[in-house]
Chains A and B, each alone.
Chain A
Amino acid sequence: MKKKTDVQQGTVALMVLKTLDVIGLLHGYGIARRIEQISGDLLAVNQGTLYPVLLKLEQEGAIASEWGASENNRRARFYRMTREGQKRLEAETREWQKTADIIARFFAIQAEDLK
């Protein structure tokens, strides 16, 4: 049970990092929107759970934040990637790639391949 949450949180964290890597500076709502657009339903509900993840990433030093003005000129907190976050993203991307490759190979297996 706990494990499942961990995976999900880890996934969200990775998505946050990738988003910030691509876009650069972005506020919380913006990150939530991107993830929703790309992942579909993962953050369609419970968008709020993103914020503890952001805080954790910031505490771990993967991202940094500062106050700034949003597009409608309101005060908003903007997040950006740090060098450490960059490294982590690269490492985790490789990790995911590897896992995905392995899984993909298994899915590609035909019955006759195992004969």
Chain B
Amino acid sequence: MRLRELFQRVVNTLTRRRQDERFRSEITEHMVLQTEDNIRSGMPPDEARRQAMLKFGAVEGITEAYRDQQSIPSAETILRDARYSFRVLRKTPAFTGVAVVILTLGIGASTAIFSVAYALLLRPLPYRDSSALVAVSMETPTFKSAAGFGVALPDVAFWRERNHLFQSVAAYGLADMTITRSHETARVRVASVTANFLQTLGLEPRLGRDFNIGDDGNNPAMTVLITDALWRERFNADPEAVGSLANLEGRAYTIIGVLPRDFQFPEPIDSPQVLMPIAGGNESSFATGGYRIVKVLGRMRTSASLAQTQAELSAVQQNRSHDYPMMYRSMFKGATFPVEPLAQRLTGGARIPVLVLLCAVTLVLLIACANVANLQLVRASTRRHELTLRAALGGSRSGLARQLLTECLVLCGLASVPAFLVADQAVRVIRATKLASMPWLASVSVNPIVLAFMVAITVLSAVAFGIAPAISGSKTNLLDTLRAAPLNMSGGRGHRTLQQALVAGQVAIALLLVICAGLLVRSFRKLIDVNPGYDPAGVLTMQTVLPTYRIADSGRPAWMSGKSQELLARLKALPEVRYAALSTSIPLQRYRVNGAIRTLDMPPDPTGTLSPTSPQIGISPDYFHAMGTPLLAGRGFSDADNENSPAVAIVNERFAIQFLRGAALGKHFQAGMALYCAGCSRGSQSDIEVVGVVADMRHEGNDQPAQPEWFVPYHQAPLGNFTIVVSTAKDAATLSTPVRAVVHEVESEAPLFEVGTMQRLLDESLARRRLTMFLLSSFAGLALLLAAVGVYGVIAYAVLQRRQEIGIRIALGATPGGIVRLVLTEHLKVLAIGTIAGVTLAAASTRLMANLLFGIRSGDIATFAVACGVIAVAAFVACMIPAWQAAAVDPLIALRYE
């Protein structure tokens, strides 16, 4: 069929412009002329008309040919094919059932994961023209972080002035603040943003107005924008809230607007509920040291590419490093400013697991397709007789192909409804994990386009593998096929080879997936077995902030010390509480204060700043007891370590090794931050003695090595923001209510937040790995099952074909064991090839998932061996069932067919 003709036909079909009308009038005309001619040659009129009709031929048949010529097969034909397909499928319930289940699982699983991947990797961000948005971070040789280190605010202001760099560039910094409203306090996350922040994203408040340009800077306006959620939760969705005052950290701000309901802050975690104009940012703040490190997002000029923007920015920064004040030249030395698409920044950590899962689920789909293709192939062989007969009776090959294709479509159609349900359920499960690190998961839903795409792929594969061979098979000599007895339907060498290749492929892919899953499972077990350096059992933690804004600056440290002591005393008095302690930072919390230190071994820095930095943590005496962290040497703190005693510190092992050459006890080091102690003075560095060494705690999660840390008595370094840690022999969660009550009694304005057990924090830190492991294991299980079904199908079919031969063998005295061996040995080769291919594939590709692994190499021999064992067992079971069936063949029944 030519392109033009096809086009014409499609147009005809689509526009339903049936040319029946034209055809009918042409026939009428033809008849009239013929009849007239006949009359002229002497026939009576009736006879003349009859002869004309006879000569024209069967009008119905010709009309149909005419219709066929002008359109794609009519709805009639399709309906007929569909009806026939249903009948055929109903007659073979086993085949239909297995095929539908396989397709359901394969299509369902892949639709779910592809939907997730779409949400993560392809769906545009909810901002205007979001592809032009970029994130800019700073990297120096000493500071490199996957999350991207911030940029100094004066730099951002500088870029904004060079307006050829970006169309618009905005910055933000995040902080937690206490909001007070009619005596209720709550902790909210506040983003200090440049005034053009919303403009850069291309958004507007749903109520009220945006910040005015110039609201940020040296004298920031005392105005805030709040999110829709906060507006509903704290202000009862009252439109009057716009224009009213909100009290943040003791200062009054005017609420000028409410953000759109679907507003998403461009930060993967910890979305703020309040926006306020950012303070500072001019060049002079560099000199005074009062600059902020902020996160930066820019909107590229419409004409600029990412590479171009990057190049221009680098060029601008190159010259600029000379402008920095002396002090920062060394600090920002060698700094680069990578620019990356905002979308990439936001999905950063989740990309690799999702890509790995995507590959895995594609492989599962591939196995499912291979299985269906195999089933089609088997069926095609068994239906050779039928097909040949139909061809012999005048069925055209295109008609047969159409019929088989319809059957395939009906199968996929039958599977697509349950597949949608499977996908929907899977997406629900994924969504229910509520991973804190992947908030975008909450908005994932099954994508109908993805589902349609998956169904289409399945149909295509079934056509390519199943139907095409069947059609080419029907071309062979009709007589030969018809002459053969129906049961003696050998599929032909070509079919057999194709089947065996499909089986070997399935085994290989299933093995690959089982190996990947095995590696993840073993990684996860290792991760759980890691000693985190604390005992999460029976530990309850909650954060709070003392309302220091009520107290004058000079009185704050003493007031905080007093409050904390009162609080801990009251908590200890609670029944069931073993230890009550506080710490300015506990493991798995994201934010920590870094304190600069210098040991006596280190040469003094010419610029006067101290480096390196290492987390400084203020703790109360019982902290290590409460956390179950062993003290390795020296002593713990007591209440006697306070502002009137010398500065002391407990360091962890890592710190001792890295900074104090191992033997830390009794050594001194200097801290950049002033402490409150006997002999310390404000504004100068403190000299600290190490009095104890404590075991390392894995602060950033079990998969991250411990960092050097140093602990100081809370009284010597009080902070308003700290975490209360309470340990009990019972279930920690039950303590939540009494502890809350105590805190509220001691300080009614102190909000409590992030209340939870240490175990939950630990579980959450492992949640993403757990989900990845769970999903990949499910896929591996699915792949294993599908491959086993595939192996079983092919061997069972081979046995069926050889029934007579086996019957004869048994009649001649073959033992059942001999028959089983006969069947097995024939297929072992295919399985062996599949296994070898699978191992080779795995060895080549597991390296790609190396950074998802923990504690084992990607080529872990034990995992490979176990996976091979699993595959071998599954394949063996799949082989044994038909082999036993073969051994049980009754020779009489088998031979009777001859």
Contacts and interface: CB of A to CB of B under 8 A. Distances in A.
A33 to B, nearest CB: 8
B69 interface: yes
B32 A74 contact: yes
B70 A55 contact: yes
B590 interface: no
Given A28-B26, A70-B33, A76-B29, A49 B4 contact: no
A60 B8 CA distance: 9
Contacts of A33: 37
B66 A47 contact: no
Q: Which one of A44, A47, A60, A61 has the greatest number of beta carbons of chain B within 10 Å?
A: A47
Interface string A38-73: 000000111111011001100111000000001010
A60 B4 contact: yes
Given A51-B23, A55-B66, A61-B4, A46 B33 contact: no
A51 B56 CA distance: 10
Interface string B31-62: 01110110000000000000000111111001
A52 B30 contact: no
Given A28-B26, A45-B55, A60-B5, A52 B65 contact: yes
B55 A44 contact: yes
Nearest to B7: A59
A75 interface: yes
B396 interface: yes
Nearest to A2: B396
A96 to B, nearest CB: 21
Q: Which one of B66, B68, B70 has the greatest number of beta carbons of chain A within 10 Å?
A: B66
B575 interface: no
Q: Which one of B30, B32, B62, B66 has the greatest number of beta carbons of chain A within 10 Å?
A: B30
Nearest to A44: B55
A27 B37 CA distance: 15
B65 A49 contact: yes
A47 B65 CA distance: 13
A32 B54 CA distance: 14
Given A1-B394, A49-B57, A59-B5, A29 B66 contact: no
Nearest to A61: B4
Contacts of B32: 72, 74
A23 to B, nearest CB: 15
B29 A47 contact: no
Interface string B396-435: 1100000000000000000000000000000000000000
Interface in B478-514: none
Q: Which one of A48, A52, A76 has the greatest number of beta carbons of chain B within 10 Å?
A: A48
Nearest to A54: B26
A34 interface: no
B30 A32 contact: yes
Contacts of B394: 1
A37 to B, nearest CB: 12
A57 to B, nearest CB: 10
Interface in A5-38: 27-29, 32-33
A77 B62 CA distance: 18
Contact of A51 (B2, B34, B62): B62
A47 B23 contact: no
Contact of A29 (B2, B33, B65): B33
B638 interface: no
B69 A56 contact: yes
Contacts of B23: 51
A48 B56 contact: yes
Contacts of A47: 30, 34, 55-57
Interface in B2-36: 2, 4-5, 8-9, 19, 22-23, 25-27, 29-30, 32-34, 36
Interface in B840-882: none
A114 B56 CA distance: 48
Contact of A70 (B9, B29, B62, B68): B29
A27 B29 contact: yes
A45 B27 CA distance: 15
Given A28-B26, A47-B30, A77-B22, A52 B55 contact: no
B4 A75 contact: no
Given A1-B394, A29-B29, A52 B5 contact: no
B62 A60 contact: no
Contacts of A56: 5, 69
Nearest to B12: A59
A60 to B, nearest CB: 6
Q: Which one of B22, B55, B59 has the greatest number of beta carbons of chain A within 10 Å?
A: B55
16 contacts: A44-B55, A46-B56, A46-B62, A48-B30, A48-B57, A49-B57, A49-B65, A51-B26, A51-B62, A52-B62, A55-B70, A59-B4, A59-B70, A60-B5, A72-B36, A77-B29
Given A45-B54, A52-B65, 10 more contacts: A2-B397, A29-B30, A46-B58, A47-B34, A48-B56, A48-B62, A51-B66, A55-B66, A74-B32, A76-B29
